[in-house]
Structure 1
C-alpha cells in the first residue's frame, strides 16, 4: 500500500508568503497581502554547560572533558561573531561549590544575552573549574528567566553535559512545560561520553558524542540546524494521485508539546503549485490536514536548510441531502461507518467535502432516517428525502402520550413524546403510518389510554382529534 504522504527534497527557492484571513473590515484586502505567520529573523542561543566535578575526568586518556568542551565551545563562539542576527548567553552549573557541599542550586548565568558579548563568553569559559553536582532541572528553571521577554526572537537552548540529573529533579517535565510556554524551542542535549544518556531524550534532542571529534561535529551541527532556513510545501493528492486538492486548513503541530506552531489555509497558484512555508527547523512536527475526517502525518521527514515537498493523500468527495420538491429544510449528522461519535452536522442543501470512504447519515427529522453512504473521490453523493406533511393533534386536555411510526412489518418505533402541558400539538412528519398513545392527565387509570392511527402523505395537512 502506498503511504499517505511522501517527502521530497528540492533545491530551495524563494519563500512565498501564506496568509490567513483575519478581518472582514475595509482593510481586509490589504491584510491578505501581509505576511501573517513567519519565523523570527533573530535568534538567541543559551549554552548551558556542565561544570560538575565529573567533567574533570580524562576523555579517552587524553584531555579532560572540560578542556575539550572549552576548546571547541571557544572556537564556536568566536566563529559566530559574523552573525548580527544572533545573540549568545552562557549559563554554567556545578562549578562554584564542591561535590561534598551537594549544592543543588549551584547554577549561574555567567553571561547574559547581549550583542557582541563573544569575548566575555570566551573569558568565562576559560575560567571554569569543575567542582560540584549536576542540577539540570534547577538550571532549566533558571534558564527560563535568562531569555528576555522581547518579541521577534527564537530562543534556543543547548545543554552540554557528561552526567544526568543528580539532585532528584525531573528535567523532562520541566523542559516540556517550558517548551509549551514558548520559553525556548526543543533543546539540544549533547552528551560527553554520557552513560545512560538516552534518559535525557525527553529533555530535548539528545546527541551523544563519543570523542572530541564527534563532539565538535554535533555541536556545530546543532548550531547549523538552529540557523538553517527551511521551507516546506504540502501537495494534497486527489483520488488519482494528482496534487490538485486545495483550500483546506493545514496545521503544523509541535510533535513534542502538541501545540500548533503554524496554521494556514492551503493555496495553489494559477499554475497549480502549492505555496512554500518557512518553518523553524529546530522542533519536529506532526502535520494535520483538516479534512473531514482529518488526515494526520506523524513526524514527516523535513531536511533542514532545504526546500521540502510533502505529499499527502486526501481524496475527497462531496455529500449533499435535499428534500423533494419544496419540502422543509432539515439537518443531519454524519458518522464514519462503525463509529458512534458524530463527525459533522450538516444542513440540507449544503454541499460538504469528506474523505473518500464509508459513512452513516442520520437525518434530524421526525422520524429520523439513517442512510449508508459511500463517498467516492471527486464525486458527489446526493440523498433525497421525501417532503414532510403536517399533522395537528387535538388531545382536548393536557396529558401524557407518545407518537410512534408503524413500520411495514407491523412493528412500531418511538418517534417523540407529546408535550405534557399542551392540548394542541403540531408536527412535521415524513410520509408514513403512525400511531398515538395518549392518556389525559386526570384520567384515573392506564385503561383510559386512547390509541389513534393515521397515515400522512408528503405535503398533506392532517387535523386529528384524539377522541373522535
Structure 2
C-alpha cells in the first residue's frame, strides 16, 4: 500500500490548492456508496470494495482539513444479503447525517472500515431519498451528490426521472461510476443523472475520484478550446501543462479530452493564480497571463491547428526504421523533432524544412503541413556499398550535377564495412597506410541502386 500512501499525500495537496468558494457559502457533499454484493468482485490487486474503500479513506482525510464543508454518507446494498431470485430493493440508508467535515470524516471512515457488501443496487431509490430527506434546508449551500457504484439500476427504478426532480430542488449531482465489468452500453443511464466518469484501473479510479472531489469543492471551472485553422475547437489528445506564471512552478498536467458531447472536457483550477499554459503539440504552443474569473466557467482559446507529416521509404513503406528525419520550422535552425522514417507525426499547421539523416543527407524544403491532412514524403530506398580494404584513409563522395560532395569517411578495419547510401553515382578515394606517395591514391567510381548491394576491394 506504499503507492496508495503517496496518492493520499497528493490528494491532500491537490484539494487544499483547489479549494475555492463564494464567501460564506457552505458546501455539502453526500457520498452515496455502493455496498452491493458485486463490489466484492476481484479488481486489480484487491477487490472493488477494497480499492474504493482505501481511496475513500484517504480522500476523507483530505476533506477533513477544509472549512465550510459538511459531509454525509448514504449506503445501499449493505443490509440484506442478495439471494437467488430475491433482492431487497428498499436497502438504502442515510448512515451518517450532515456535519462538519472534520468530525464526519472520522465517522464515515469508521463505517467504511467495517462495511460488508451484501445486497442489490437500488440507485433510483437512493437518489430519491437523498434529495427528499438527506439535505436540511439551507439558504447559502452548494449541495453535491457523489455516487460511487460499480453497477446499474437493478430495481426497475428510473434514475433519469429522479435526477430531474432533484435538479429542480437545486441539488447538483456528481456521479462517479467504477466501470469494471460495466458494459458501456449502459452509459446513457448515467448521463441523464449528471457527469459520468468511468474508471477501469486503480490508478484511473484515483485520478477520477480526485477530479470529482475537486469539482465538488471548487466552483471555478475551465474549458480549453484547441482551435483548428477555422477557429473550431476540434483539436484534442494532447497534454496541457499549467504553470504558476509568477513563480514558474508546475501546477498540473491534463490530457486534453473531448467529452461525450464532443466538446472539450471541463477541468478545475485554483483561480488565485495567473497561469502560463503550454500545449504540448509539436512544436509546443504557449499562452501566458491567463487569469481566471472565480466562481464561473472560464474558456481558454488556443490556436493549435494540426496536420500530419507522413514519412515513408520507397520499397519498404511499412517497415519501421530507426533512421531519423530532423524537422525544423521554415528558415530556423532549431530542431523541433527527430522523426523516425516510416512513421506519421502530428505537427502544427505551417511550413517546415526537413533533413533526412541518410548518406548523403537529403534536404527537403518548404514542406507544408495542412489542417487535418497528411503530407506524405517518400524517401528513396538506399542501396549498400560493402568495402573491404587495407589500413589507410578512405573517403566516399557523391557525384551529382558535375560536382563532388563529401559523404563520409570509412573507418580503418580489416572487417568488411557495409554503408547504406542513397541511389546515385559515387567515388571512393583511398590510399594505403603503407604508401608514402600521394600519387598512390586509388579512386574508384561506383553506382548504387535502390535495395542492391555493391562490393569493393581496396
Residues 1:83 and 2:63 aligned together: no
Instruction: Give 3-state SS (helix, strand or coil) of 1:387's partner.
Output: coil
Q: Partners of 1:317 and 1:449 in 2: how far apart?
A: 51
Shift of 1:41: 5.2
Would you say the 8 A contact 2:271–2:291 is kept in 1?
no
Distance change in 2, residues 1:274/1:41 (3 Å): farther
Deviations 1:276-302 (A, max 9, x none): 111112221011111011111111231
Instruction: Give 3-state SS (helix, strand or coil) of 1:253's partner.
Output: strand
- The aligned residue for residue 406 of structure 2 is 414
- The aligned residue for residue 370 of structure 2 is 376
Match of 1:427 among 419, 427, 445: 419
Distance change in 2, residues 1:43/1:406 (3 Å): farther
Given the two structures, how large is their TM-score scaled by the length of structure 2?
0.52
Match of 1:322 among 309, 312, 326: 312
Shift of 1:433: 0.7
1:286-301 matched pairs, under 5 angstroms: 286-301=276-291
Shift of 1:434: 0.6
Distance change in 2, residues 1:465/1:257 (3 Å): same
Shift of 1:43: 7.0
Shift of 1:306: 1.0
Would you say the 8 A contact 1:251–1:289 is kept in 2?
yes
1:155-170 matched pairs, under 5 angstroms: none
Instruction: Give 3-state SS (helix, strand or coil) of 1:447's partner.
Output: helix
Distance change in 2, residues 1:298/1:464 (3 Å): same
Q: Partners of 2:339 and 2:64 in 1: how far apart?
A: 46
Residues 1:263 and 2:256 aligned together: no
- The aligned residue for residue 352 of structure 2 is 359
Q: Partners of 1:306 and 1:43 in 2: how far apart?
A: 24
Instruction: Give 3-state SS (helix, strand or coil) of 2:378's partner.
Output: strand
Distance change in 2, residues 1:27/1:297 (3 Å): farther
Shift of 1:84: 5.8
- The aligned residue for residue 245 of structure 1 is 235
- The aligned residue for residue 106 of structure 1 is none
- The aligned residue for residue 339 of structure 2 is 346
Instruction: Give 3-state SS (helix, strand or coil) of 2:439's partner.
Output: helix
- The aligned residue for residue 441 of structure 2 is 449
Q: Partners of 2:403 and 2:64 in 1: how far apart?
A: 72
Would you say the 8 A contact 1:234–1:309 is kept in 2?
yes
Distance change in 2, residues 1:277/1:316 (3 Å): same
Would you say the 8 A contact 1:398–1:423 is kept in 2?
no
Alignment: residue pair count: 261
Q: Partners of 1:356 and 1:456 in 2: how far apart?
A: 36
- Relative contact order (alpha carbons < 8 A, sep ≥ 6): 1 or 2 greater? 1
Distance change in 2, residues 1:451/1:302 (3 Å): same
Distance change in 2, residues 1:43/1:298 (3 Å): farther
Shift of 1:42: 7.2
Shift of 1:270: 2.6
Deviations 1:146-185 (A, max 9, x none): xxxxxxxxxxxxxxxxxxxxxxxxxxxxxxxxxxxxxxxx
Instruction: Give 3-state SS (helix, strand or coil) of 2:343's partner.
Output: coil
Q: Partners of 1:42 and 1:361 in 2: how far apart?
A: 56
Deviations 1:259-318 (A, max 9, x none): 210111101123212111111122210111110111111112311121101121100010
- The aligned residue for residue 275 of structure 1 is 265
Q: Partners of 2:260 and 2:344 in 1: how far apart?
A: 24
Match of 1:232 among 217, 222, 226: 222
Q: Partners of 1:313 and 1:423 in 2: how far apart?
A: 55
- The aligned residue for residue 79 of structure 2 is none
Instruction: Give 3-state SS (helix, strand or coil) of 1:391's partner.
Output: strand
Distance change in 2, residues 1:27/1:252 (3 Å): farther
Instruction: Give 3-state SS (helix, strand or coil) of 2:417's partner.
Output: strand
| Unaligned stretches of 5+ residues in structure 1 | 1-24, 45-81, 86-114, 116-226
Would you say the 8 A contact 1:318–1:378 is kept in 2?
yes
- The aligned residue for residue 332 of structure 1 is 325
Would you say the 8 A contact 2:275–2:291 is kept in 1?
no
State which drifts further: 345-354 or 457-466. Answer: 457-466
1:71-220 matched pairs, under 5 angstroms: 83=68
Would you say the 8 A contact 1:367–1:405 is kept in 2?
yes
Q: Partners of 2:237 and 2:304 in 1: how far apart?
A: 12
Across the aligned residues of Structure 1 and Structure 2, the Cα RMSD in angstroms comes to 3.1
Shift of 1:461: 1.7
